[in-house]
Structure 1
């Protein structure tokens, strides 16, 4: 019976009418369908009617190694998917980009389809964060970026990697140009498929680590193509570095996850402290200023006592999100200090700048409405307020610890003065 239930759920998840795609904004639906149509059209136009035996061998080698690598790293990939946000960089470019450099683009379409189908069924199946339309759209974007890269190779007058190895500097520059095109298109094509794109370059394209990882997989793909151009047996030499890179990326994601507070998504106190100490060291080195805020949610106990702890967690998450939305950018670090207290470090902030951010946070929280679970339904709760203590480096303290103490005293003064207000710490005598 259990086997039938699993199969029935699988059919339901992959049924077109049940796709989560139809719940997305119309812009996303239109873009995903346009990508799929473009891929089908390009595949029909570019697919070789009579692929050569050598090309079919290369396809088999790349597909086989890509599937083997995905199988050996399947548990790593699942763990990465559970931890990741967006964007999520896979290892598939190691094989697909190699295909761009050594095979007709029609076979690259086949290779990408095989690798992503395998990833979807073996690594991402049952992960609720990965609906089938996402897997299909990601594959379509990879295929479209591969088409752009292959066109660049043609425009450069370099038919394949084998030809590039005989063309000296021109061939090397052409391969690097193709890599740059693939890298850029990978980043740009996926953006319109997101329901929420964000407002900063980091939100659009990810952090430096995401981009370096994408570039590293393309570099390994180029080495794969070079090995195939010399001797297909040499491709095996690329295999251990790919597996090691995959596991290293997971370790990095686990370290990043350990620095986060699981209830609110902001930094844990340990992660925030490490970030704040780096800000302090940079301010010391450059003789710069920075600010620190300590924020406490007023009368939070009433929420827990009235609605329960699950509702309290929902309120804390909403407050944390409001604080993050109202700081200046990704360099301003928000952390959960403990209970209903949050801390914010503001690099390169003047006294006026600190006051503006603090007041913006206070106002945003006061205007906040939160949908909380109550019984079998939900209820909208509003009327929250926070008291904020601020401190500026170096006038209020010469270390992060000293600034925390100063901001804590200012926070106490805000509470004593009636709550729902900002108080700045006095300068040291």
Structure 2
């Protein structure tokens, strides 16, 4: 009993723990009902043979897909996790969806179970596994999604004995895809929202591509089901498209990594410029406006010189996190290199005014001034505070018709803020005058706080 009480699942917050256990209990209840229904209905030897053959065909093809995709997924995992070897191979939904269309619910659950065990204990045995309670929740959501797909397929089949062979086969598959995606997405999004500070709106915006990818994979599952009822061995031709989907995920994540600054998680300068140019072009076509802020950390070199580049990285990460929190979802935040950041703020309604942009910039400046960045060191915790930023702003189309023109104006405003003594905000076009040495203000305050349990 003491071992049970030490399971990591009990460390979850109460509401989240209740939701996870409820999903798993519901999945278990459905499986029990499937067993009872199957036993009561009885079965013939011929039906058992047909079900067993289809089950073996689907699970075997699923095992083959997982084995062939493992090297791609391990490479993808190294990209995502910065060199970690954790694999994330899970072709289970495709084959589980095909099983939901072809097999009784209990047999479809058997396919889900077989794929789950194969992926977890065969494919991932050398690359690490997720905690068991997370895997159990994923397994439960898949069981529920399979039941939802089967229910939608039966409902849309209009009582036909073999709906996939009839003229409404496309409707049946589409309805099953809808049921599977809705249940699976809602459960996953709900748990993420409950376990983090993300909202449903954030998750929907971030998971749009993932949902499209899932729909594409399930469509392949529908084609697999169609192949099985016509010529079972055509299933093998579904394996190459699934491998291509795995590679598509890898390519997408490589693109995302290339567009992300490794230290701050913001857009790189090139990625920001490309996306901001598109936003400016859209604003020009729509007759709307946008604004640009250039944010520069004052005296950042002194932080690196005094405390090393690791401490400087902590400061950059803290400022980047602050900027992400302080802007809207549609705004673009990037790192322009060194200690300089840049923001594009599109405006859908009235045109941006300097006064409105000044408020945003002043809020950023004040929040940076309040930052206290804790840096772990062998001698205790180093806290860096007294930071400041200089901010320059410009507005499209008032300050230019193209992104580079607006950036150039914002850059002149940034240097005007630095000439004013730093820790300041300036808007619009200013004369470009070099900063004199006597204009440098005092460096940021850095203090050492002893850790409560310093190393021996």
| Class of the TM-score when normalised by the shorter of the 2 chains | 0.7 to 0.9
Deviations 1:364-417 (A, max 9, x none): 323333221122543444332221111111221222222222111111111222
2:15 pairs, out of 21, 27, 42, with: 27
What secondary structure sits across from 1:168 in the alignment? coil
The residue matched to 1:372 in structure 2 has which SS? strand
Asked if 1 retains the 8 angstrom alpha-carbon contact of 2:63 and 2:115, the reply is yes
2:391 maps to 1:388: yes
Alignment of 1:70-149 (within 5 A): 70-84=66-80, 90-124=90-124, 130-149=130-149
Q: TM-score, normalised by structure 1?
A: 0.87
The 5-angstrom pairing of residues 173-252 of structure 1 reads: 173-194=171-192, 195-196=195-196, 198-199=198-199, 201-204=201-204, 206-252=206-252
Q: 1:120 to 1:229 in 2, by over 3 A?
A: same
Contact 1:91 1:246 in 2 (8 A): no
Q: Distance in 1 between matches of 2:368 and 2:127?
A: 34
- 2:170 corresponds in structure 1 to 172
Deviates more, 1:200-209 or 1:61-70: 200-209
Is the partner of 1:418 in helix, strand or coil?
Answer: coil
Aligned pair in 2 of structure 1 residues 308, 236: CA closer, same or farther (>3 Å)? same
Q: Separation in 2 of the partners of 1:293 and 1:186?
A: 40
What corresponds to 1:260 in structure 2?
A: 260
Partners of 2:284 and 2:382 lie apart in 1 by 48
Max radius of gyration: which structure?
2
Pick one of 37, 49, 54 that aligns with 2:50.
54
Note if 1:357 corresponds to 2:360. yes
Kindly tell me the number of residue pairs found equivalent between the two proteins.
409
> Does 250-259 or 410-419 show the bigger shift?
410-419
Match of 1:367 among 366, 370, 374: 370
Match runs of 1:245-394 below 5 Å: 245-329=245-329, 331-348=330-347, 350-351=352-353, 352-375=355-378, 377-394=380-397
Larger RCO (alpha carbons 8 Å, 6+ apart):
1
* Equivalent-residue separation in structure 2 for 1:291 and 1:353 (angstroms): 10
Structure 1: gaps (5+ residues): 1-14
Instruction: Report the Cα distance in structure 2 between the residues aligned to 1:20 and 1:303, rounded to whole angstroms.
Output: 40
Preserved CA contact (<8 Å) 1:386 1:420: yes
Separation of aligned partners in 1, 2:6 and 2:410: 52
TM-aligned CA distance change 1:109 to 1:379, over 3 Å: farther
Runs of 4+ in 1 over 6 A off after TM superposition: 15-18
Task: Pick the aligned partner of 1:412 from 389, 410, 415.
Answer: 415
Distance in 2 between the 1:129 and 1:307 partners?
38
CA-based RMSD of the aligned residues comes to 2.7
Q: Deviations over 1:265-291 (max 9, x none)?
A: 011111111111111222232232111
Segments of 5+ residues of structure 2 without an aligned counterpart are: 82-87, 432-456
Deviations 1:234-276 (A, max 9, x none): 1112111111121122112101110110011011111111111
Give the direction of change, closer, same or farther, for the CA distance of 1:153–1:240 in structure 2 (3 Å limit).
same
Aligned residue for 2:25? 37
Q: For 2:405 and 2:128, how far apart are their aligned partners in 1?
A: 45
* More moved, 202-211 vs 31-40: 202-211
Could you say if the C-alpha distance between residues 378 and 164 of structure 1 is closer, same or farther in structure 2, counting changes exceeding 3 Å?
Answer: farther
